Amino acid sequence: MNNESFTRELVLPGDVLDAGTMKPGEGTYVDDGKIFAAMLGIKSVKSNFVNVIPLGGRYIPAPGDMIIGKVMDIGPSNWLIDIFSPYPAPLHVNEVPWRVEFGDTARYLGVGDTLLAKVLMVDETKRVQVTMKEQGLRKLQGGQIVEIAHSKVPRVIGKNGSMIQMIKTYTNCRIFIGQNGRIWMDGNMEDMAHAVQAIKMIDEGAQTLKLTERVKEFLESVYRKEE
Amino acid sequence: MGGNSDMKLIDENGIRTDGRKVDELRPIKIEAGVLKNADGSAYVEVGKNKVLAAVYGPRECHPRHMQNPAKAIIQCRYNMISFSVSDRKRPGPDRRSVEISKLISEALDYVVFTENYPRTSIDVYIEVLQANAGTRCAGLTAAAVALADAGIPMRDIVPSVAVGKVNDTVVLDLNKEEDNYGQADLPIAMIPRTGEVLLMQMDGHLTKAEFDLAMEMGVKACKEIYEVQKDALRRRYAIVNGESEEEPMEEPKDEPMEEPMEEPKDEPEMTEED
């Protein structure tokens, strides 16, 4: 890991990132032998690749992503899932852990239901397919959903899951984070409110430092009061 | 465009009605991220012009027949609010605003990497709150900042400015009087780095020499505006750079992307490997 990647430099579209020694990574483009930033974000250098880590933008599905979806529409042999992205994703009956008769789809998943799914494939025109046929993928019952920018998901998880683990231990909530920026949680009402607040804190302060400590302070202050 | 008007818009010392020199821009102020509900937004003031731009998307394109399977489409709406001019403007799209909308969306289409988001639409809304000549330029300037604020991949930020001819003199960034009683108006938008022109119209007449001079002034002014645009975005995301010196923060990319799902403890079958 290159040391350079630690200097957190904000780049804007059109900024020169490198003049030729490195390779263009994500969020960049090449023109006239130079690498330019294609979007607003933070410059990062990783194994000779220059990337721009976006600060915002919509979630674009990639195969293998775990996501939290909402059922938008029901067809006779599939459901249309809103995956918090510009592209709706069909979920075919064959990609579901149950045996569903043709036309019987509504009995299993209704409009508005939330589910944990995985992106199966994405083609060139960004047609998405999702699957639930894998261990742990299921319909999410009860609980609530928080939506944040998908670019901030890594921050909510934290290094090796430190951030989310901390929120979980303090609030005693069950939490799932989808790569698409949806977070599902279930627990008792008050705890959930605290967890939501902590997540909002991360969402707003994602670019700042010592976030983990501040969130910890916040959670500690809340739970000390209650004892 | 009044053509050959007797109105004296530039005095002997080359000072214009609002006290500017011939190659001087009006005071320009840009603010990024002013609207909470839009994906990206910007507010621009150029002299007495006040323009607000909001960007939504990329989002699913409706109606479906307008989708392009190869790239995103940019839909732009330039609108002047009824109180933006001294005589109440009849609300709703008219011939002029339809033209400007098309012009701006085509200019932006060139700069945005639309091929990254096939079948979607990127919607740009430009509202002119107060008009004082040069609103299409101010609108495009605002739209470009709003697009960058929305995190949309684009080649560069686009600045735009108008140049014109008043009392037989080429002047930069026309104001209302100069626009109404001047001899020519030439709005341009460009990518400053490459010099590619994204928008150019001309109303009135310029000689070749005047046109070359106008272009030269326009290019210089675009670079100035470009810096103001960038500065606005940097201010908006200042927290990123602020206080970041002392300690490296976790690189978002380092996070365990492979196992993004945090498992609840009551489900042992999904427990992480490590």
SS3 at position A14:
coil
Instruction: Give the DSSP letter string of A138-191.
Output: -EEPSSEEEE--GGGHHHHH-GGGHHHHHHHHHH--EEEE-TTSEEEEES-HHH
**Among chain A residues, CA nearest to B112:** A38
Chain centre to alpha carbon of residue B52: 10
Q: Which residues of A touch B113 (CB under 8 A)?
A: 29, 38
Structure tokens at B10: 């530039």
Amino acid at A161: G
Residue from A4, A6, A12 whose CB has the most chain B CBs within 10 Å, to mutate: A12
Query: Do the beta carbons of residue A184 and residue B271 sit within 8 Å?
Result: no
Q: Residue B107 contacts by C-beta under 8 Å, 6 or more apart in sequence?
A: B140, B158, B160, B189, B198, B199
Residues of B in contact with A164 (CB under 8 A): 262
Check CB contact of B115 with chain A, cutoff 8 Å. no
Rounded CA-CA distance B186/B192 in Å is 17
Tell me the C-alpha distance between A168 and A156, whole Å.
12
**Tens digits of pLDDT across chain B (274 residues):** 655 567 889 999 999 999 999 999 999 999 999 999 999 999 999 999 999 999 998 999 989 999 999 999 999 999 999 999 999 999 999 999 999 999 999 999 999 999 999 999 999 999 999 999 999 999 999 999 999 999 999 999 999 999 999 999 999 999 999 999 999 999 999 999 999 999 999 999 999 999 999 999 999 999 999 999 999 999 998 754 444 333 334 434 333 333 444 444 333 333 333 3
pLDDT tens, residue by residue, A72-102: 999 999 999 999 999 999 999 999 999 999 9
Query: CB-CB: which of A39, A157, A164 is closest to B154?
Result: A39
Q: Which of A40, A119, A132 to mutate to probe the B interface, most B CBs <10 Å?
A: A40
Angstrom distance (rounded) from CA B143 to CA B137: 10
Q: Which residues of B touch A53 (CB under 8 A)?
A: 252-253
Quick: pLDDT tens for A39-68.
999 898 988 999 998 988 899 999 999 999
A54 phi and psi angles, rounded to 5 deg: -70, 150
ipTM of predicted assembly, 2 dp: 0.88
pTM assigned to the model? 0.88
B237 → closest Cβ in A55, A164, A168: A55
Cis peptide before B187 (omega within 30 of 0): no
Give B-chain residues touching A176 at CB under 8 angstroms.
Answer: 261-262, 264
